[in-house]
């Protein structure tokens, strides 16, 4: 049984600066403010990276799975601010960058699959936010690790 969509693509586009072809989150199906978020991403056959990343047996590059998990983690922060009435100034004037990652990839991910992206907030120190992340396909872990995001105030805003 499919989970109910809590936030859809229009909500995600309000928070993330990413756009196609570098937007890797379709919707949010679970959310606990400042604790955990679960997102989905359906991998379409026409995505540009599949054309050149092992064309005879296309797989999603690990770096793009890492980016999908980083985007999911950034959404945990953004939707937490939105739901806990964080200042709009905080949200509109801040951007996250992937500062570090420690990832392990267990299985290849192919077009036609749906990634389930999970991020759990661990801690923050200064402008750095650390998350435990994992990606699943059909309840099988395909990637897992830790991601640290760095928040930066945007100049001139």
pLDDT digits (tens, 9 = 90+) for 71-92: 999 999 999 999 987 654 444 5
Q: CATH number for the domain including 130?
A: 3.10.129.10
Q: Which domain holds residue 97?
A: 9-153
Task: Determine the pLDDT at residue 91.
Answer: 47
| Nearest C-alpha neighbor of 119 from the set 59, 1, 29 | 29
Q: CA-to-CA distance for 72 and 93, rounded, in angstroms? A: 19
Q: CA-to-CA distance for 133 and 45, rounded, in angstroms? A: 25
Domains: count for the chain? 1
pTM of the full structure: 0.92
Query: In what order do the strands lie in the sheet containing 114-125?
Result: 27-32, 36-42, 114-125, 128-137, 140-153, 94-105
Catalytic residues: 53
| Regions of the chain where pLDDT drops below 70 | 1-2, 86-93, 155-157
Which neighbouring-strand residues pair with 125?
128
Q: Is residue 3 part of a domain?
A: no
pLDDT digits (tens, 9 = 90+) for 35-55: 999 999 999 999 999 999 898
Q: Is residue 2 part of a domain?
A: no
Q: Is residue 57 part of a domain?
A: yes
């Amino acid at each position: 049984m499919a989970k109910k969509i809590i936030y859809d693509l229009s909500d995600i586009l309000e928070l993330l600066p990413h756009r196609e072809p570098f937007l890797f989150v379709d919707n949010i199906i679970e959310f606990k403010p400042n604790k955990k978020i679960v997102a989905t991403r359906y991998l379409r056959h026409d995505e540009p990276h599949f054309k050149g990343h092992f064309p005879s047996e296309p797989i999603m590059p690990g770096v793009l799975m890492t980016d999908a998990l980083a985007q999911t983690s950034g959404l945990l922060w953004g939707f937490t601010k939105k739901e806990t009435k964080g200042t709009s100034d905080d949200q509109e004037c801040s951007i996250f960058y992937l500062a570090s990652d420690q990832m392990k990839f267990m299985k290849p991910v192919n077009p036609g699959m749906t990634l389930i992206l999970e991020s759990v907030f661990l801690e923050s120190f200064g402008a750095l936010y650390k998350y435990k992340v994992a990606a699943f396909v059909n309840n099988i872990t395909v990637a897992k690790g830790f991601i640290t995001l760095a928040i930066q105030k945007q100049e001139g805003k």
